[in-house]
Amino acid sequence: MICESDQLEEYLLELNEVNYSNPIVKEKIGELFNSTQTEVEKAKVAFEYVRDEISHSWDIQGKRVTCKASDVLFYGEGICYAKSNLLASLLRSQRIPTGFCYQRLMLFDKPEKGYCIHALNAVFLKSLNKWIRLDARGNKKGIDAQFSLDDERLAFTTLEELDEKDYPTIYVKPHPKTLAVLEEQTDAIIMYKNYLPQHL
């Protein structure tokens, strides 16, 4: 993996979409974290919360488009772009550097049905001096992403022979293409089927 910035502090910044000072987010921070938890425990708690308690819009066929961490929390749903904003917000609030990673995947099960950019997170654990990737998209039949410090257990494995791609960069901010689609679209189902970016 390649860090976009060599300044870990940049992976702690509060952003418009990673708004951990928002009262709704602060309330959830108070519920999830306490002073006795290790950094690894905090990362696992936050990941499992976003994975399991925030619904993926496509899985529930929800039409609402969310983007900011506070909105994702308030409505309890979002696509992977939105869920990665929330996970970054929760972890950055705890001074755990968190970035954004992307994969190019088939949108459904065949190349002719199109491709999409999928978002996940990379988290830097100071105690282990390494980045790990976590995918809080949400599990369902055929998808089993887990918190793992050693072997990655992501939601998707990329198939390069089918023109899928694992982008190596750990970005400081959500990619502009992913933000643009969330800002421009008003129906998550239509957005998911027709308007997700296919390349970074």
| Inside any domain, residue 199 | no
Range of the domain at 89: 2-194
| Inside any domain, residue 48 | yes
| Inside any domain, residue 173 | yes
Taking the CA atoms of 43, 86, 83 and 34 in sequence, report the sign of the dihedral they define: positive
Pair of tokens at residue 89: 């917000």
| Inside any domain, residue 160 | yes
For residues 94 and 87, give the distance between their C-alpha atoms in angstroms, rounded to a whole number.
Answer: 11
Per-residue pLDDT of the chain (200 residues; tens, 9 = 90+): 999 999 999 999 999 999 999 999 999 999 999 999 999 999 999 999 999 999 999 999 999 999 999 999 999 999 999 999 999 999 999 999 999 999 999 999 899 999 999 999 999 999 999 999 999 999 999 999 999 999 999 999 999 999 999 999 999 999 999 999 999 999 999 999 999 999 99
- Is pTM beyond 0.85? Reply is yes
Number of domains into which the chain is organized: 1
CATH number of the structural domain spanning residue 42? 3.10.620.30
| Inside any domain, residue 200 | no
| Inside any domain, residue 78 | yes
Other Cβ atoms within 10 Å of 176 Cβ, number:
11
